[in-house]
Amino acid sequence: MNILGIGGVLTDAAAVIIKGGEIAAAAEEAKLTRRPEAGQLPEASVAACLAIAGLTADDIDYVALARPLPSGSALPVALRSFSKARVVSIDHHAAHAASAFFPSPFNDATVITLDREGDLRCGAKWRGSGNRLALEEEILYPNSIGELYGRVTELVGFRQRADEHLVQWLSATGSPKYADIFSDIVQGTAIEQNSFDTGRQGHGGFSADFIKRLGTNKADIAASAQQVLQDYVIRLAGDAEYVCLAGGVAWNALLISALEHCGKFKGVFAQPAAGNAGTALGAALSVWHETLSNTKRLGGGGYCLGPSFDVGEIKQTLENCKLRFRLVPAMTELIDLTVDELRENRIVAWMQGRMEFGPRALGNRSILASPQDPYSTENLNAFIKHRDTFRKFAASVPAELAGQYFDVGSNARYLATAGRVRPEYQEQFSSAILAGGLIRVHTVSKDDNPLYWRLLHAFGEKTGLPVLYNTSFNLFGEPMVCTPRDAVRSFYSSGIDAMVVGNFLLKK
């Protein structure tokens, strides 16, 4: 049975294919086309997933569409090439819930989906059991905790619907002094609307009276909003033993860390592709489990489910760009050369294997630096990412060694949480530590990403520290690189010192 899932058509469109009981492919349109058109069928993603899975349109048995779709949409017309497939429409939050629960390690769980809005809902609570999801509570717009967080994003000087992730990192530098003020407008799952004035531009739409109650310290405002968000989700989860999360709010790594460490839950799983792109996965899984009554659970593995490129394709791109490069056929030698670059405190772009699904670099489309370089994070922020100094970089570590250096939860497998540095390594990782001793950690297993795992171990063998700083391979404001040409462009438009693409090494 072959299932094509399509989601995020209005924003962050993506496609996923389940082939013969396995998640065979997943890709976001923005990474493939670089400038996707909102409201259009993600044709590039669909074509890429079909190619990866070795299928044609005639091989697809079901097309699962996650709503919402454009008003008066002719999108189903664009699916005529899938003439043998049955088209199924899946509610937006139902797709989010399926994406969270079905790939999780739990057979029974409370599932929470939260975003700004989708199909009138802005949140929902579900009961997941076996191969079924049952809606227990729905939260309708405008009672949106996601929108409240978005308003705070604008209030502290960032862009709504784009920079919410910055608020959580800013919050780590502040104190939740105004949490009670925000709590006053969050009544259970209802958001009191009298504190908003949509005519006030540039202030998140908060009323003048509400803003007067707050101080002027932006970090404290961010910390207060973050605290209220965490309390809200913990309260919504109630007496759950196991919790799964999806929707844009679930991208908040500090929220996931708070759930992992609050002492209430036995297990927490946050969908790595938690946003609208992840609804493509959820829609396909909903058909697999709920429409077709399959009980076999399909995990995302290491979530490297996108396109890959062979030696010939990479070489052709490098030659067409008239670049000087070194071909290193033996992967052991290539790893050693990469380690040598990192030991010399050079920043290395690393592009290998299949592209990640979701926004986070999990070792296949990464920019790497040595934590033994005291200036590594400063250089990454100043000369490559052009980011605020309060934003820190993740530390990748072999999963079996992570406990030696960090205290971190299970969602570190997908860079979806934050942990703490062991006291004896505080100085070593000082440049990556957020306020309060927090650090973003990425635990890498041999099964999930064997090549990146080997690189970490090789670096450890030569330095005594099997940890690398890791951030996504992309330029500021652009999607993660997908193709060798994307990689070349980003490499030569940034301060990256060296690049490893497949078996090729390039230096500036």
As a whole number, mean pLDDT of residues 333-352 equals 97
Element (H, E) at 220: helix 218-237
As a whole number, mean pLDDT of residues 326-349 equals 97
pLDDT at 74 over 70: no
Summarised one tens digit per residue, pLDDT across range 350-386 is 999 999 999 999 999 999 999 999 878 777 777 777 7
pLDDT at 233 over 90: yes
All domains of the chain, ordered by start, with CATH?
A: 2-98+277-291 (3.30.420.40), 124-130+141-270 (3.30.420), 311-507 (3.90.870.20)
The Cα 320–Cα 304 span in angstroms is: 27
Predicted local distance difference test score (pLDDT) of residue 78: 73
Q: Can you tell me whether residue 167 is helix, strand or coil?
A: helix
Burial (CB < 10 A; 0-12, 13-18, 19+), residue 284, is: buried
Model confidence at 285, pLDDT cuts 50, 70, 90, reads: very high
Q: Where are the alpha helices (DSSP H) in 102-194?
A: 145-155, 164-171, 179-183
Q: What is the pTM of this model?
A: 0.95
Q: Can you tell me whether residue 54 is helix, strand or coil?
A: coil
Summarised one tens digit per residue, pLDDT across range 166-194 is 999 999 999 999 999 999 999 999 999 99
Predicted local distance difference test score (pLDDT) of residue 70: 84
Predicted local distance difference test score (pLDDT) of residue 117: 85
The length of the chain in residues reads 508
